[in-house]
Amino acid sequence: MYSIVKRLRTGGARRPANEITDDPGYEGELRVGATGAVVTAILIEQDDEHMRPIIPPLEHAQLTVMRVDMMLFHGIERDKETGAGVEQEWSVQIIGY
């Protein structure tokens, strides 16, 4: 699904509402898949055959809210340097299929 994704947390802490509202988000193709029991959400450039993530993938992704044109995912994002997992939420606005 072609979507705009806003990351609602920084370092595991919820961002202020005005900061989230002012954030334009990241635009790309949202893909959700499972490897074993781990569900992962990833945002990539449309038609990127190498599936390079625009933002860090969301591991253990759980769909917590679903509306006609919006979804909310909760999961774990890995720190690039340490590999440590931090809590993250994605607000996903669907803009096309």
SS (H, E, C) 69-88: CEEEEEEEEECCCCCCEEEE
What's the pLDDT at 8?
98
Res. 92: pLDDT tops 80: yes
Res. 48: pLDDT tops 80: no
Read off the pLDDT band of 31 (50, 70, 90). very high
pTM for the model: 0.90
Residue 41: closest CA among 80, 89, 8, 79: 89
Across 20-25, average pLDDT = 97
User: Judging by beta carbons within 10 Å of its beta carbon (0-12, 13-18, 19+), is residue 18 exposed, middle or buried?
Assistant: exposed
